[in-house]
Amino acid sequence: MTILRPDLPPFRSAAPRVTLTKAFSTPFANTVATARTCYSGKGVVFDDQVGTNPAALAESLYRAGHHTTYEHAHFQFALENVSRQFLWGFLHAHPFYDSEQVSQRYVAVRPDAFVIPPLEGEALVIYERALARQIEAYERLRAALRPLVEREYYKRFKPSERMARRQAQAIERKCQEAARYVTPIAAHAFLYHTVNAITLLRYWRLCRQGDCPTEQEWVVGQMIERLLEHDPGYEAVLEEPLPRGAFPAIDPAIPRNPKRFREEFDASLGGHTSRLIDYTARGEEALADAVREVLGLPREALSDDEAIRLAHDPARNRLFGEAMNLATLDKVSRTLIHSTYTFRKKLSHAADSQNQRHRMTPASRPLLALHVDDEPDYVTPSLVAEDDAIRRDYAQCMEEAWEAIARLRRLGVADEFALYLLPNAAAVRFTESCDLLNLRHKHRMRLCYNAQEEIWRASLEEALQIRAVHPRIGAWLLPPCSHRFAAGAKPICPEGPRYCGIPVWKLDLEEYERLI
């Protein structure tokens, strides 16, 4: 069965490539087997016991919305030549997936690995020249940042001939981490991506919506083709994609004013990267009450302070010293879900592409085309801001990128294609909400000095703001080394050869400071 529209224009660059690498052997039959097991008086129904025509029951379950039976079967795809914009705007914009992708922090950006949309004439010339300038700026920035990075790195570590190669690699990666901010979101990525069957069907239904619908339909269409090649049974429940514009639409009579929106949003941040705007008012008391409920204890037997420490302090709850995130399976630890926090945030596209991987701290992210106008709107890494000459070069690169996008738009190029030129530095504004259990895990990972600097800074702001309103809770929003130190786990730093060089577990949050 051919899924892709015959009129779908291919990219001028290497086309996205999709390979199904792992899958259930009989996934569609398993959907019916799991459903029939629910009503079986004879035990588990296996895939080979569902009969020769399982489609009728499978379709009935699908139409009725009984989709858990479709969640058992998983499919692992290898994806190549897909854009960073596609990953951020579609593939990672939901909680039901697993991905492992090439990192721009640790792998240099290749000059020939970008999406080139189906442009012609002047538009193609503008686009390709803009890409070339961005790559030149990336290489220039990597070199210019090296003295700064070396200075900061050798504040932490003594130069060592024996470790010279490893130290040089660490320095280069820190340079790449900041330099990548000037590279466009058109940059290719390759990755493994695993989803269950119902998520894959949702992909197809929604593939024409969002930030880059052409690429989305092209890639997801190939994923669906691989699915049907493996098990044609899914054709019985496959629906056509919703048409473009099926999202709730704003009244065209309402004038758009992205600049005014940005001004309002940024003013509301009050100088923060991430500002706490709402929280469970009785968060500490609700947590303490829940702990007593789990343990069947009256208030007189366990005070609020002791209850919170029992659930939250790694010295009392040793699960927080473990490498695995075990808290979701432990009844006392799960009491943390009752305290919730909402933040208004502004991050770069690059930082939010990592931030959104914390799938249990969901956010309402923007449609970028409705936020971008002709005025450059970007985030500057702290390392770049440290040197005036580097910062001016960086700002000039941003001006050139936005000018190229504006020229493409004036030529009538669709936003989805013009915006591939947005640099990784492009600002993304959104609101993010999370319960304490999952926020605690996120902060445990992102308060580490090895975490991406921009997310680290946002997480530090969040932890300090929570500590101000809920001091008994905020006291334990800490990086992994501090958790392990409190729990008595060894080694204190779990990163091994990636140790940041600073005994962070000895510091208070107010003392946290880093440039690289």
What's the one-letter identity of residue 73?
Answer: A
Average pLDDT over residues 224-231: 96
Q: Is 168 contained in some domain?
A: yes
Quote the number of domains for the chain: 2
* Distances, alpha carbon 154 to alpha carbons 145, 149, 158, 503, in Å: 14, 8, 6, 15
| CB contact set of 24 (below 8 Å; sequence gap of 6+) | 30, 72, 73, 74, 75
Last residue of a domain, one of 170, 204, 236: 236
List the end-to-end C-alpha distance of the chain, in Å, as a whole number. Answer: 51
List for the chain the helix, strand, coil content (%; round to 5): 50, 10, 35
pLDDT above 70: residue 7: no
Q: Secondary structure of 88-141 in the HEC alphabet?
A: HHHHCCCCCCEEEECCCCCCCCCCCCECCCCCCHHHHHHHHHHHHHHHHHHHHH
Angle between helices 121-156 and 164-179 (to 10 degrees): 140
Structural domain for 21, as ranges: 17-106+187-236
Determine, yes or no, domain membership for 199. yes
Give the neighbor-by-neighbor strand order of the sheet with 98-101. Answer: 17-23, 74-83, 188-196, 98-101
pLDDT tens-place string over residues 348-384: 999 999 999 999 999 999 999 999 999 999 999 999 9
Query: Are 162 and 228 within one domain?
Result: no
Residues 191 and 99 reside in one and the same domain? yes
* pLDDT at position 458: 97
Shared domain check, 193 and 150: no
Q: Tokens 């630890």 correspond to what residue?
A: 333
- What per-residue confidence (pLDDT) applies to 1? 46
**87 DSSP assignment:** I
What pLDDT is recorded for position 121? 97
Domain containing 226 — which CATH number? Answer: 3.30.1360.170
Looking at the predicted structure, is the pLDDT value of residue 250 above 90? no
- Mean of per-residue pLDDT scores for the chain: 94
Average pLDDT over residues 511-516: 95
> Cα(215)–Cα(212) distance, rounded to whole angstroms?
6
Beta bridge partners of 184: 423
Same domain, 25 and 171: no
Give the tokens for residue 133.
């300038």
496 within some domain? no
Residues 101 and 22 in one domain: yes
**Is residue 22 helix, strand or coil?**
strand
Whether 58 and 30 map to the same domain: the answer is: yes
* Per-residue pLDDT, 495: 93
- The b-or-e profile of 306-334 (16+ CB within 10 A means b, else e) is bbbbbbbbbeebebbbeeebebeeeebbb
Q: Are 301 and 485 in contact (CB under 8 A)?
A: no
CA distance 65 to 48: 24
Q: Is 142 in contact with 105 (CB distance < 8 Å)?
A: no
| Statement: residue 129 has pLDDT above 70 | yes
- Same domain membership, residue 160 and residue 69: no
- For residue 399, is it left (φ>0), alpha (ψ between -120 and 50) or beta? alpha
Cβ(291)–Cβ(473) below 8 Å? no
Mean pLDDT across 333-360: 96
Considering the domain architecture, whether residues 95 and 34 belong to the same structural domain is answered as: yes
Question: What's the pLDDT score for residue 50?
Answer: 83
- Asked if residue 85 belongs to a domain, the reply is yes
Report DSSP letters for 254-306, one per residue: SPP-HHHHHHHHHHHHTT-SEEEEEE-TTHHHHHHHHHHHHHT--TTTS-HHH
pLDDT by residue (tens digit) across 430-483?
Answer: 999 999 999 999 999 999 999 999 999 999 999 999 999 999 999 999 999 999
Q: What per-residue string of b and e applies to 158-181 under the rule 16 or more CB within 10 Å gives b?
A: eeeeeeeeebeebbebbbbbbbbb
Contact 348, 454 (CB under 8 A): yes
H/E segment holding residue 63 = helix 55-64
Scan for tokens 């379709």, then name that residue.
59
CA dist 181 and 178 (Å) reads 6
> Is residue 42, in this structure, part of any structural domain at all?
yes
What's the pLDDT band for 4 if we cut at 50, 70, 90? low
Select from 236, 271, 304 the last residue of a domain: 236
For residue 87, being part of any structural domain is answered with: yes
Do 98 and 198 belong to one domain? Answer: yes
Q: Quick: pLDDT tens for 399-422.
A: 999 999 999 999 999 999 999 999
Three-class DSSP category at 503? coil
Q: Does residue 28 sit in the same domain as residue 98?
A: yes
DSSP H/E element including 82: strand 74-83
pLDDT at residue 3, rounded to an integer: 56
CA distance 200 to 224: 8
Domain assignment present for 30: yes
Helix, strand, or coil (residue 428): strand
83 lies in the same domain as 197: yes
Residue 120's pLDDT band, with cuts at 50, 70 and 90, is very high
436-446 helix and 480-487 helix, angle to the nearest 10 degrees: 110
Identify the pLDDT of residue 56: 86
pLDDT of residue 8: 61
Say whether both 191 and 130 belong to one domain. no
Choice among 18-27, 59-68, 296-305, 433-442 with the minimum mean pLDDT: 59-68
The whole-number pLDDT of residue 5 equals 52
Centroid of chain to Cα 106: 17
Q: What percent of the chain has pLDDT over 90?
A: 86
Calpha distance 341→361 (Å, rounded): 10
Would residue 61 count as lying in a domain?
yes
**Average of per-residue pLDDT across 140-158:** 96
Question: Cα-flanking dihedrals φ and ψ of residue 99, to 5°?
Answer: -135, 145
Task: Kindly state the average pLDDT of the residues 332-347.
Answer: 97
Question: What is the greatest pairwise CA distance in the chain?
Answer: 78
* Residue 216, pLDDT above cutoff 60: yes
pLDDT of residue 256: 86
Helix (H, G, I), strand (E, B) or coil at 414: coil
Residue 299: CA count within 13 A, CB half-sphere: 6
CA dihedral 60, 62, 65, 67 (to 10 degrees): 130
Per-residue pLDDT reduced to its tens digit, 38-52: 888 889 989 888 877
Q: Cite the beta strand spans of 218-339 per DSSP E.
A: 274-279
Which candidate, 200, 202, 206, 201, places its Cα nearest to that of 241? 206
Q: Evaluate if residue 107 carries a pLDDT over 70.
A: yes
pLDDT tier at 271 (50, 70, 90 boundaries)? very high
Q: Which of 394, 416, 438 is the last residue of a domain?
A: 416
